[in-house]
Structure 1
Amino acid sequence: MRKKLLTGIMTAAMVMCLGVTPAFAGNTNYATGKVTNVYGTFTYRAMTSYPNKKATANAMWFMNISSLNFAGSIDGTSGITFKPMLRSGNSSYTEVEDADAAWAKTTMSTKYYSWNGHGPANVTYYLGVRLDNRLRNTSATASGYWNAN
C-alpha cells in the first residue's frame, strides 16, 4: 500500500513539474522607420510601438537585425545602435543607463546584451534607436525582433 501511495505521489509530482514552464516575454518585431541624427543631437529615439515587458529579473536582453540599410555611403565603421528605454512620462522616454547598447554595422542573428545586474521583471521597456555620432548626412532603417527578457 505504501509503495502504491509513494508511486502515486511521485507520478503526480512529475506531471506537475512538466506542466510548469518559466515565463518569458515574447519576442517583439520592430521596424525603425527612417533614423537620422539632428546635427549636434545624438540621443536615442524610443520606438513606442514596440514595447516589451521584462519577465525575468536581471536576464540579458536580446535583439536580432534581419534588415539594415543606409541611405548614402558610409565608411563601414559607423552604424546604428539600440538600447532599452523606459517611459518616464506621458510622451518622454529615458535610456536605461545600466543596459549595454547593441551596435550594428550589418544585419545580425540574435545577440544577447547585459543589464549589468539590473533590469527588474514586470517592467515594460521600449527599444531605443540612434545612428552613430559620426553619421550626419545619411539615414538608416532596420527591422527584426527584440526581447527585454
Structure 2
Amino acid sequence: MGAALASAARAEYEELLHEHVLAPLGLTAITSNPPPDNQLAGRGFLGRRLRPWTMSGAILPAGGLWATPRDTAHLVTRLLVERRLGEPAPSWQTTGRLHWHDGATRGASVFAGAMDDGTWVMVHRLSGHALPTEETAARVLRDAVTGSAGET
C-alpha cells in the first residue's frame, strides 16, 4: 500500500509519511535511516551485537522504520487514545476493546496497543522471541484494567 501511495502521489513514502502522519502528530524521532549511534540492536548467541536491519524501497512501509520508545508511545497515544487522525486504520488489529499492533525483526519485538477507555501499553524488547513481549503487554494491560499492578 505504501508503494502504491508513493507512486500515485509521485513522492517518496517517507515524505508522505512525514507530511500526513508524523508532522501532524508532532513526532520527530521516527525514520528509516537513523544515525548509527541511535541504532539499538540486540545481542547474538555469543554476546556479539547483531547487525541492525534495514528495509528500503517498496518494503519500507512493512516495517522499515526506526523509532525511539518515546515516539512509539506518542504514536500509540496520539493515534489510538486521542484519535488525532480519526479512527484507527484497518492495519491496527482489534480484539474486543483493544486496538493493537505488533512486530518483530531479528529478535527485537514491539507490542503497542490501547483500550477504548484510554489505557495503553507499549513494550519493546531487543532480544528473544516475540511471544514474551506480547505476554508482558497483556499482563500490563490486565493489571492496569483490574488495578492489580504488582500483585502476583
When normalised by structure 2's length, the TM-score is: 0.27
More helix by percentage = 2
Q: Bigger relative contact order, structure 1 or 2, given CA contacts below 8 A and separation 6+?
A: 1
Bigger Cα Rg: 1
More strand by percentage = 1
